[in-house]
C-alpha cells in the first residue's frame, strides 16, 4: 500500500532533508507508515511536515515514532506539558544579542542540542506556537555533508580527537562559529536561572567524527555552539584546527533556513544535523515548542565523573 503522504525535496539540490505533506495523526497507527518515516529520517536527517495534522498532541505522538520522549534536564525550559520544551522570546523577557549592530531576540548559533552532556538526545520536533511578524527562521545543516566537504588533510588530522563542550549559554562568550561582532545585551529570566548553575554542569567530550550506525556514513560530529576546544590540543594550534573545521559547518552554503508557517513541524536527527535560530526583531514575540527524543549514541564522556544525565529539578 502507498503511504498516505507525499515526499519531496526540502529544497532544490539540498544534500539532505525532505518534505512530507499530508500526514494525519491516525496514519501513525500503521506500522508501515512508522517504518517508512523512520527510514526517511535516517536517510535524510531533517523532515518538514506540512499540510497535515499539527496539534501539540500530534507533535508528541509523531515524535514517539522515532524514539521515547525525554524530559529536558533544565526544568526552566519545560513547557506545561513535560514532554515539550518551550523556546520563547518576549520583548520584556527574552535573551537578546546585538549582531552587526542590530538588536536580535532569541538568536542561537549553529549547534546540536545537549552536546554539553555526555548523553545527547536523538532528535526533536519543533512546532511554532506564536510566530513573529518577520524573521524567526531556523537553520539546519547536515554533518554528513560537512564531513564529505572536509579536505582529506583535515579528515586525517582529526582522527582520534575530541571536542570539549560546556553549557555556557552566553553565546557572546562562545569561541567558535559566532559572528565577530556578537554582543550580549540581556538574558531571559529562565536563562539567568540556568546560567547561575553553569559551573555545576560537567565538562564533556565528544569525538570529532563517528560513523552513522544504520548507513556507515561518516558524520562530522562538531557543534560550534558550546565548543570550548580540542581535548587533546590545548593552545593556539588546537584552536586554529577547530576554527578551521568549524568553518565547514557554519557558512550559509549547504544550509537550509526554514521560513515557518503555522501548521509546520520540523523533525531533525540531532546526532546528524546542526540547527541555529536566526532570531527575531527585539520588539517581537516568538514561541516554539520542541519534543526531545531520548537516546545515547554512546561516544560522549563526562570528564568530571558520573554517568548519565545530570538533573536540575531542584
Of 87 and 146, which CB lies nearer to Fe ion in the complex structure?
87
Judge contact between 305 and 156, C-beta under 8 A: no
The CB-of-19 to Fe ion minimum distance in angstroms stands at: 21
Question: Does 269 participate in binding Fe ion (rule CB under 5 A)?
Answer: no
Question: Does 289 participate in binding Fe ion (rule CB under 5 A)?
Answer: no
Of 114 and 158, which CB lies nearer to Fe ion in the complex structure?
114
Stretch that binds Fe ion, among 5-13, 105-113, 209-217, 304-312 (CB under 5 A): 105-113
Q: Which of residues 217-256 bind Fe ion (CB under 5 A)?
A: none
Q: Which residues are within 8 A (CB) of 36 and not within 5 positions of it... i.e. 6 or more apart?
A: 3
Stretch that binds Fe ion, among 17-25, 113-121, 197-205, 229-237 (CB under 5 A): 113-121
Stretch that binds Fe ion, among 14-22, 109-117, 168-176, 186-194 (CB under 5 A): 109-117
The CB-of-297 to Fe ion minimum distance in angstroms stands at: 17
The CB-of-247 to Fe ion minimum distance in angstroms stands at: 21
The CB-of-112 to Fe ion minimum distance in angstroms stands at: 8
Question: Does 113 participate in binding Fe ion (rule CB under 5 A)?
Answer: yes
Judge contact between 18 and 40, C-beta under 8 A: yes
Q: Which chain residues interact with Fe ion by CB under 5 A?
A: 113
Amino acid at each position: 500500500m502507498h503511504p498516505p503522504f507525499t515526499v519531496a525535496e526540502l529544497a532544490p539540490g539540498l544534500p539532505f532533508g525532505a518534505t512530507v505533506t499530508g500526514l494525519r495523526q491516525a496514519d501513525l497507527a500503521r506500522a508501515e507508515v512508522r517504518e517508512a518515516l523512520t527510514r526517511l529520517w535516517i536517510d535524510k536527517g531533517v523532515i518538514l511536515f506540512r499540510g497535515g495534522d499539527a496539534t501539540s498532541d500530534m507533535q508528541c505522538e509523531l515524535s514517539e515514532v522515532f524514539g521515547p520522549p525525554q524530559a529536558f534536564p533544565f526544568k526552566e525550559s519545560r513547557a506545561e506539558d513535560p514532554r515539550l520544551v518551550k523556546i520563547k522570546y518576549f520583548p520584556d523577557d527574552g535573551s537578546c544579542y546585538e549582531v552587526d549592530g542590530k538588536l536580535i531576540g532569541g538568536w542561537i548559533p549553529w549547534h546540536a542540542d545537549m552536546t554539553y552532556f555526555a548523553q545527547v538526545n536523538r532528535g526533536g520536533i519543533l512546532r511554532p506556537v506564536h510566530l513573529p511578524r518577520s524573521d524567526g527562521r531556523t537553520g539546519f545543516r547536515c554533518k554528513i555533508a560537512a564531513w564529505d566537504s572536509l579536505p582529506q588533510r583535515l579528515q586525517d588530522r582529526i582522527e582520534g580527537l575530541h571536542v570539549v563542550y560546556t553549557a555556557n549559554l552566553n553565546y557572546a562568550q562562545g569561541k567558535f562559529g559566532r559572528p565577530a561582532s556578537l554582543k550580549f545585551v540581556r538574558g531571559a529570566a529562565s536563562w539567568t536561572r540556568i546560567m547561575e548553575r553553569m559551573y555545576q554542569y560537567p565538562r564533556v567530550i565528544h569525538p570529532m567524527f563517528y560513523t552513522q550506525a544504520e548507513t556507515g556514513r561518516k558524520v562530522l560530529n562538531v557543534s560550534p555552539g558550546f565548543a570550548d576546544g580540542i581535548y587533546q590540543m590545548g593552545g593556539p594550534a588546537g584552536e586554529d584546527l577547530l576554527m578551521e573545521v568549524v568553518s565547514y559547518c557554519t557558512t550559509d552554503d549547504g544550509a537550509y533556513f526554514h521560513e515557518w508557517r503555522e501548521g509546520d513541524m520540523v523533525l531533525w536527527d540531532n546526532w546528524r544535523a546542526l540547527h541555529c535560530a536566526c532570531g527575531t526583531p527585539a520588539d517581537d514575540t516568538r514561541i516554539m515548542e520542541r519534543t526531545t527524543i531520548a537516546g545515547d549514541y554512546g561516544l560522549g564522556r563526562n570528564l568530571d565523573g558520573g554517568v548519565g544525565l545530570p538533573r536540575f529539578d531542584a
